[in-house]
Structure 1
Amino acid sequence: MWRSMLIESSSFKLFVVDEAHMVINWGESSGKSEPFREWFGRLGEIRSLIACPALVITATASRASRRKLRKKLTLVNFHEIVDSPDRENIKLFVEKIKVNEKISVTFSWLIDMVMDQGGECPRHIIFCPSIKLCADVYFAFKVSLNECINYIEMFHSCTTDQVKDEIREDMENKDGH
């Protein structure tokens, strides 16, 4: 039924796959187990039934994964844009917080920088693996910064849309894009 519907329809203008790396991560079986999302693995079949341009988007696929995606989604006449996340204005580093060390001690360098520079302090984003740790880090900064607290904010899945919008707008205004 689906095949005939797709083949007979000429109304498709664009076939889009966002987070395309998941086609491979979730759509293929891993050894003995079934695929986590079987239909992800069948997107190539659907793609082969419709005649329209495709837009395949992923920010995390390796070169080998991109090769698999091209084959799986039958992308033959395509233009691939690969851009490095390595930017002059972005610096990444990982610092593991010791179990018995206070968060305020771990981030004392950043707390001092915010206290000294206030609104002129370069932007920093601290990624946390859980909302609880995010709240713990936020609270540690809040206690340490006192009057400079308006320079920090929490952003996670439970943050209200209004606060998220304010943070995004503030980041755009500060950085100019």
Structure 2
Amino acid sequence: MLGGITRLKEHVGHVAGQVEPCPRASREVRDVMKMHLKAADNPYYQSMIDEIAKAGSGIKGPSAYQIGNEYLDEEFEELEKYLGDIYDKFSTFGCTLMCDGWSIRTKHPIINFMVYCDRHMIYHCSVDCTNVKKTAEYIFKLMDEVVEVVGEKNVVKVVTDSESSMKAAEQLLMKKRKNYSGHLALLIV
């Protein structure tokens, strides 16, 4: 999938242009996604300009190397810590695996996997299913891989769309994960 997380935000935020709007996104979630997609409309943008102006002329901005290396490395470390803190909660709170199939405007089929735990949503991955038949076995394989990464004992439920191959994939997942059927409840939305 070209565009990655931006297109996912556009899909969930109902931002016209590149993708179809997600029919299941709540108003609150749509508004948050739209806010994340704004640049100069960001509430912190003007305060950033004001702070730069306070410093006066002669201020030198960061170099491309600093932005692409030093600052990027710092952001990456911060993100790793944030995600690590959430992953650590999986065994305490359990998590919900969400699987949603959709198509971008160019009709390329995509399956997105998200993980929800303790009021935090984590984007896990997107799979471009172009030229792949989305059979129950194929979707089951994808779901099963995500359950392995997240940890079978941590998955409390799986939420998917109502496509027939998704339903069948859930049944296959339940058969394989029958030792943990008390922890795995499959919901279809």
Length-normalised TM-score, structure 2: 0.30
Query: Which structure shows the bigger proportion of residues in strand conformation?
Result: 2
Length-normalised TM-score, structure 1: 0.31
Q: Of the two, which has the highest radius of gyration?
A: 1
